[in-house]
Amino acid sequence: MPDTLEIRFPAAGVEAELAVTEATIRATDLRQFPVGGEPLATFDPGFMNTAVCHSSITYIDGDAGVLEYRGYPIAELAEKSTYLEVAYLLLNGELPTAAQLQEWELLITEHRMLPDKLKTVLAGFPYDAHPMTILMASVAAFFSFYPDAQNFEDKSARDLNIARLIAKMPTLAAFAYRKGKAKPYINPDDKYGYCHNFLAMLFKQNERRYEADPRLIRAMEVLFILHADHEQNCSTNAVRSVASSGNDLFTSCSAGIGALHGPLHGGANEAVLRMLREIGTVERVPEFIEGVKAGKARMMGFGHRVYKNYDPRAKIIKKSVEDVFEVTGVNPLLKVAQELEKYGLTDEYFVKRRLYPNVDFYSGLIYEALGFPPEMFTVLFAVPRTSGWAAQYQEFITDPEQKIMRPKQIYTGHRTRAYVPMEERA
């Protein structure tokens, strides 16, 4: 027997049984209850308790601190996979065979170059433009170079444009970085894998061949795997929402980059570093914590809408911090972060609200140790998140249940008023 929710609404003299499927009721079933002439609806700012789609890409159990991509636990993927293998998994639902992976890596390698004219777009930005702004505008501009992305119903056109975007993101990110440093761009090198090539495009100087330390390449792979997808977060919702009006992959992902940039989402890693610098020393941590408790500041890198337990990604990043510091030397701000975490895990304010370190708490320390300025941190989140956005985009546009996104509102303004001529206005 199917589960039902019995609803009685005496004011309208209506009683009904709503079907409960997959632990949800259909919001449109509430329309049968008229309230003052309006059909009953739900009010849910921030989508606190509203499912907007069926998805088989990423599973999160926030209370238990579980994260899985296509059913594979994140810790195992971070230990055993490469980023491109994980991107393939997100997009196709299964881990690739050796032959499939080789073909996929080759496809991505083939598409790493940026269209030459994009360099004129990049040249138009001021030298100190935020690299996320450059990324967002350039990804939107891709659509003018690859207009076949509009044929998203055609699987081969869709696959090609997904590969183009995943392939070009590191190149774009590296160019944005080097532009800010007034350094010449380094083109991709086919001899390197995805993460090694990214490091080379970022950091190559005058040496004939750039060889990154294998520990740094692995740390990059791990960070990229951890950031690849995170189900219906703010930026994924932006991607799906923009796709819902019939947009191509590039326009939709450009919106995702904009959403990711905010300090409450991907921009938190940049905000964490700025916070750590501002605190500066372990001795100043108690004073900062008191400020947070008094509502004067937020502890950036702490708290999550879904995780009410330690973010499993933060646990893995903590281990990568040690690996990277072995190569780069220890970032002195690590001590400040560890002291903040100690308070966060024991102080009643944080414990009561179930606020734990999230993915952004330690990632900034790694990025800084690698020599990135804080404004690059969110770019380093956006590059790997592209595979998640692409998988979510693909799922959205092939889902017959989906419609143009169009939430309701509760109108609180004036109703039909007489127009006031200018001379009569106070």
* Residues classed as catalytic: 265, 304, 360
Per CB under 6 A, 96 contacts ligand CMC: no
Give 223-257 as a DSSP string.
Answer: HHHHTS--SS-HHHHHHHHHHTTT--HHHHHHHHH
Question: Which residue number, 184 or 295, has a Cβ lying nearer to ligand CMC?
Answer: 295
- With respect to ligand CMC, which residue has the nearer C-beta, 96 or 258? 258
User: Which listed residue (70, 179, 304, 385) binds ligand CMC by CB under 6 A?
Assistant: 304
Stretch of residues binding ligand CMC (CB under 6 A), selected from 76-84, 169-177, 356-364, 386-394? 356-364
Given the complex with ligand CMC, which of 163 and 223 has the nearer CB atom? Answer: 223
Residue 361 CB, shortest distance to ligand CMC, in Å, is: 7
Task: Work out whether 384 is an interface residue with ligand CMC (CB under 6 A).
Answer: no
| # of chain residues touching ligand CMC (CB under 6 A) | 20
Q: Does 233 bind ligand CMC (CB under 6 A)?
A: yes
344 binds ligand CMC (CB under 6 A): no
Helices (H), 244-328: 249-261, 268-279, 285-293, 312-328
Place of tokens 């159990």: 61
Is 353 near ligand CMC (CB under 6 A)? Answer: yes
**Alpha-carbon distances of 165 from 55, 112, 192, 381, 422, rounded to whole Å:** 22, 9, 18, 15, 52
Single out the residue of 389, 368, 383, 384 nearest to residue 175, CA to CA. Answer: 383
Could you say whether residue 379 binds ligand CMC (CB under 6 A)?
no
The region of 27-35, 63-71, 208-216, 260-268 touching ligand CMC under the rule CB under 6 A is: 260-268
Provide Rg for the chain, Cα atoms: 24
Q: How far is the CB of 386 from ligand CMC (least distance, A)?
A: 15
Positions in 305-324 near ligand CMC (CB under 6 A): 305
The dihedral built from the CA positions of residue 128, 118, 239 and 69, taken in this order, carries a sign that is negative
User: Residue 221: CA atoms inside 13 Å, Cβ hemisphere, count?
Assistant: 22
Report in angstroms how near the CB of residue 263 gets to ligand CMC at its nearest: 7
Task: Identify which of residues 188 and 301 has a Cβ nearer to ligand CMC in the complex.
Answer: 301
CA distance 214 to 322: 14
